[in-house]
């Protein structure tokens, strides 16, 4: 294990990571730009109401933005997702989304690929929070599917 | 006064969950053994359909099912034939809305309601607006969802034909000045419709004294089974009203030429096989509450709520949205932590509460926050449970809320 992987195995580090992404979310503002597609996620749960934007061009995710009212897990998981998937091809992103979904469902997954997103690895223990941990990821999945449908 | 320790012995839930503090009674309530027994006896002893069988257990079943109306009639001080069984408070409210749209109201008429209502007392009216051009307007309320009666009077224009409001609101627990508002509605020629889901289980509601035209509530919020709603209506209004559902048991006869004749109320509103065991269990719950006494239940809960408020108010990290309301749930938040995260921490410490907007999605217009933690009590809760809850509330922090996942 590398030092980085060791760090991502430390519960205290993972907790700090979630808190940090919640207090200071990355990519946390929407842009008024026609190139971005948009997914408004509010129907999954009573509380969370977030919008995710993605600029997908030539099969590459050039940028991801998000904003809205959401809990710690929703905000942090979406913030981490925006960092991880930005710059990836849609194939790479789809693969990472699959790995992530496996993790939050309590199935086998490749921790090394998911980097900081492993902070969400225990969310499956609180079944009602799985939708929080997947809201932003599902938004991204939806936008990738839309972008592929248009080609 | 209520002997809460004796009462808790009636609820097998406490034995099964000895460490859990259940403060989510606004969502649903626990079931005493007598209700469980009433439901299971249908399965073990008198399984049969209602109003159809010619054999002895069917007759017993009919007696219990129709007898359930008498229990609720006693609870509400009305006639048994004014009690309709539906599938939940929402179904009752939809029946009322549908019924009003077919024969009572016309395009341009106005329904007055409030911004503190649960979805079940708003969306049925929104649909009337969409489908029939019936307008929806809101009565003025203060920041703790208390009605301003004087200002309410100015809302009664000639087009107002009905007022629909919760007797006790589900998030803030504000109590409607129901007698005054019903009288005001009647003075202006409008019907008065009450959502009693958060009121009937907790206090004596006398429909004649209050002069309520229609009342909707559910059994599961008053120690009864799920899947049973009660619709009270003044008999002449029920007789005038069209049922939502058409089918078996509710018709008197029908012919090939698509003509039919319906039975009288309440049967005409109960198409198809009803939730028989649920209704029988609901009657057992109703009898159980009356045996304890609705006034006693109300007094006990009020005192417990005051104790809870006093303790919770002392916490610096907590903001309470309805401190001045004497009754009902406490709606609060930690100043730093999102409601669902805080409720998750409480859950990890065995305190069951609800977080979110509690199906009152326009209430934020009044209280200025989208989501709250709601702790809702019932007569089987104790001061010791309040102490435990308050202690955990004092420990809510972002670190602790995220810490539950590690």
Using the beta-carbon criterion (under 8 Å), do A19 and B398 form an inter-chain contact? yes
Mean pLDDT over the full length of chain A: 91
Predicted confidence (pLDDT) per residue in B15-52, tens digit: 999 999 999 999 999 999 999 999 999 999 999 999 88
What are the two backbone dihedrals, phi and then psi, of residue B214, each rounded to the nearest 5 degrees? -135, 145
Q: B272: how many CB neighbours lie within 10 A of its CB? A: 10
Which chain B residues are within 8 Å of A24, Cβ to Cβ? none
- Picking from A47, A122, A126, the nearest residue to B371 by CB comes out as A47
Using the beta-carbon criterion (under 8 Å), do A123 and B405 form an inter-chain contact? yes
Structural tokens at position B402: 């995220």
- The alpha-carbon gap from B314 to the nearest alpha carbon of chain A, in Å, equals 26
Using the beta-carbon criterion (under 8 Å), do A15 and B357 form an inter-chain contact? no
Predicted confidence (pLDDT) per residue in B139-154, tens digit: 998 888 889 999 999 9
Q: B127: how many CB neighbours lie within 10 A of its CB? A: 15
- The alpha-carbon gap from B29 to the nearest alpha carbon of chain A, in Å, equals 20
Using the beta-carbon criterion (under 8 Å), do A71 and B338 form an inter-chain contact? yes
3-class secondary-structure state, position B150: helix
Nearest CA in chain B to A22: B398
pLDDT at A150: 76
Q: Over 70: is that where the pLDDT of B226 sits?
A: yes
Q: How far is CA B21 from CA B25, B123, B263, B315, in A?
A: 11, 33, 47, 19
Q: Which of A46, A49, A104, A121 best probes binding to B when mutated, by most B CB atoms within 10 angstroms? A: A46
Known catalytic residue at B34: no
Average pLDDT over residues A72-89: 96
pLDDT at B133: 97
B397 near A CB under 8 A: no
pLDDT at A34: 93
Percent of chain B with pLDDT over 90: 88
pLDDT at B93: 98
A46 near B CB under 8 A: yes
**pTM of the predicted model as reported, rounded to 2 decimal places:** 0.91
pLDDT at A42: 77
The answer to whether the CB of B337 falls within 8 A of the CB of B397 is yes
pLDDT at A151: 65
The angle formed by the CA atoms of residues B257, B262 and B264, to the nearest 5 degrees, is 165
Q: What is the spatial distance between Cα B342 and Cα A125, in angstroms, rounded to a whole number?
A: 16
Predicted confidence (pLDDT) per residue in B159-202, tens digit: 999 999 999 988 888 889 999 999 999 999 999 999 999 999 99
Nearest CA in chain A to B348: A126
pLDDT at B100: 97
- The alpha-carbon gap from B164 to the nearest alpha carbon of chain A, in Å, equals 24
- Picking from A14, A22, A46, the nearest residue to B357 by CB comes out as A46
Q: Is the ipTM of this complex over 0.90?
A: no
- Picking from A12, A71, A122, the nearest residue to B405 by CB comes out as A122
Question: Which of A5-14, B152-161, B261-270 has the lowest average pLDDT?
Answer: A5-14
B49 near A CB under 8 A: no
Using the beta-carbon criterion (under 8 Å), do B405 and A15 form an inter-chain contact? yes
Confidence of residue B6 (pLDDT cuts 50, 70, 90): very high
A103 near B CB under 8 A: no
Nearest to residue A123, comparing CAs of A114, A24, B352?
A114
Helix (H) or strand (E) holding B216, with range, is strand B214-218
Nearest to residue A92, comparing CAs of A61, A125, A134?
A61
Predicted confidence (pLDDT) per residue in B80-124, tens digit: 999 999 999 999 999 999 999 999 999 999 999 999 899 999 999
Confidence of residue A1 (pLDDT cuts 50, 70, 90): low
Q: What is the spatial distance between Cα A35 and Cα B283, in angstroms, rounded to a whole number?
A: 61
pLDDT at B371: 86
A124 near B CB under 8 A: no
Which chain B residues are within 8 Å of A70, Cβ to Cβ? 338
pLDDT at A46: 58
Using the beta-carbon criterion (under 8 Å), do A15 and B404 form an inter-chain contact? no
Mean pLDDT over the full length of chain B: 95
Q: What is the spatial distance between Cα B147 and Cα B113, in angstroms, rounded to a whole number?
A: 11
Using the beta-carbon criterion (under 8 Å), do A15 and B402 form an inter-chain contact? yes
Q: Over 90: is that where the pLDDT of A121 sits?
A: yes
Nearest to residue B135, comparing CAs of B109, B174, B104?
B109
Using the beta-carbon criterion (under 8 Å), do A47 and B357 form an inter-chain contact? yes
First to last CA, chain B: 44
Which chain A residues are within 8 Å of B337, Cβ to Cβ? 72
Confidence of residue A82 (pLDDT cuts 50, 70, 90): very high
B78, B258, B359, B389: the catalytic one is: B359
Q: Over 80: is that where the pLDDT of B365 sits?
A: no
Tokens 């102490």 locate to B387
Predicted confidence (pLDDT) per residue in B262-321, tens digit: 999 999 999 999 999 999 999 999 999 999 999 999 999 999 999 999 999 999 999 999
Q: How many CB pairs under 8 A join A and B?
A: 55
A73 near B CB under 8 A: yes
Confidence of residue B375 (pLDDT cuts 50, 70, 90): very high
Q: Over 80: is that where the pLDDT of B357 sits?
A: no
Q: Over 70: is that where the pLDDT of A44 sits?
A: no
Nearest to residue B390, comparing CAs of B340, B332, B337?
B332
A14 near B CB under 8 A: yes
Question: Which of A145-149, B85-89, B369-373 has the lowest average pLDDT?
Answer: B369-373
Q: Over 70: is that where the pLDDT of A50 sits?
A: yes
Average pLDDT over residues B381-394: 98
């Amino acid at each position: 294990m590398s030092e980085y992987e060791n760090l991502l195995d430390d519960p205290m580090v993972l907790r700090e990571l979630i808190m940090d992404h919640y207090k200071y979310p990355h990519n946390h503002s929407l842009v008024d730009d026609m190139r971005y597609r948009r997914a408004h996620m509010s129907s999954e749960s009573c509380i969370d109401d977030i919008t995710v934007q993605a600029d997908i061009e030539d099969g590459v995710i050039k940028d991801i933005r998000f904003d809205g009212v959401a809990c710690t897990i929703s905000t942090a998981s979406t913030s981490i997702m925006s960092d991880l998937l930005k710059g990836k091809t849609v194939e790479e992103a789809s693969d990472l989304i699959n790995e992530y979904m496996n993790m939050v469902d309590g199935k086998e997954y490749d921790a090394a690929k998911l980097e900081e997103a492993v902070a969400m690895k225990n969310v499956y223990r609180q079944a009602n929070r799985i939708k929080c941990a997947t809201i932003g990821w599902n938004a991204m999945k939806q936008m990738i599917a839309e972008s592929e449908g248009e080609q | 006064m209520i002997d809460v320790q004796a009462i808790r012995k009636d609820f097998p839930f406490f034995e099964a969950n000895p460490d859990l503090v259940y403060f989510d009674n606004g969502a649903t309530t626990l079931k005493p053994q007598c209700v469980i027994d009433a439901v299971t006896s249908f399965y073990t002893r008198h399984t049969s359909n209602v109003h159809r069988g010619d054999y002895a257990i069917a007759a017993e079943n009919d007696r219990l099912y129709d007898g359930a109306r008498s229990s609720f009639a006693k609870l509400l001080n009305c006639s048994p034939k004014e009690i309709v069984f539906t599938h939940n408070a929402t179904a009752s409210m939809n029946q009322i809305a549908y019924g009003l749209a077919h024969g009572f109201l016309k395009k341009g008429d106005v329904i007055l309601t409030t911004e503190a209502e649960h979805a079940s007392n708003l969306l049925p009216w929104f649909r009337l607006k969409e489908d029939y051009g019936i307008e929806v307007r809101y009565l003025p309320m203060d920041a703790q969802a208390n009605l301003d009666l004087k200002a309410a009077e100015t809302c009664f224009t000639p087009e107002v034909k009905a007022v629909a409001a919760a007797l006790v609101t589900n998030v803030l627990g504000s109590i409607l000045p129901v007698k005054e508002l019903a009288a005001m509605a009647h003075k202006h020629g409008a019907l008065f419709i009450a959502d009693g889901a958060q009121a009937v289980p907790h206090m004596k509601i006398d429909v004649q004294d209050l002069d309520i035209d229609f009342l909707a509530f559910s059994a599961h919020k008053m120690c009864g089974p799920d899947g049973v709603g009660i619709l009270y209506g003044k008999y002449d209004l029920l007789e005038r009203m069209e049922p939502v559902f058409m089918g078996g048991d509710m018709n008197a006869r029908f012919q090939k030429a698509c003509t039919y004749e319906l039975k009288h109320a309440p049967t005409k509103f109960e198409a198809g096989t009803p939730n028989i065991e649920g209704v029988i269990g609901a009657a057992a719950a109703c009898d159980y509450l009356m045996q304890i006494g609705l006034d006693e239940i109300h007094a006990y809960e009020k005192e417990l709520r005051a104790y809870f408020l006093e303790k919770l108010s002392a916490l610096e990290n907590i903001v309470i949205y309805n401190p001045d309301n004497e009754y009902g749930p406490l709606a609060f938040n930690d100043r730093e932590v999102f409601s669902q995260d805080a409720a998750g921490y409480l859950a990890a410490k065995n305190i069951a509460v609800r977080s979110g907007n509690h199906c009152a999605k326009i209430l934020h217009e009044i209280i200025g926050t989208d989501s709250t933690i709601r702790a809702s009590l019932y007569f089987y809760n104790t001061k010791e449970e309040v102490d435990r809850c308050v202690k955990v509330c004092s420990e809510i922090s972002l670190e602790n809320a995220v810490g539950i996942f590690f």
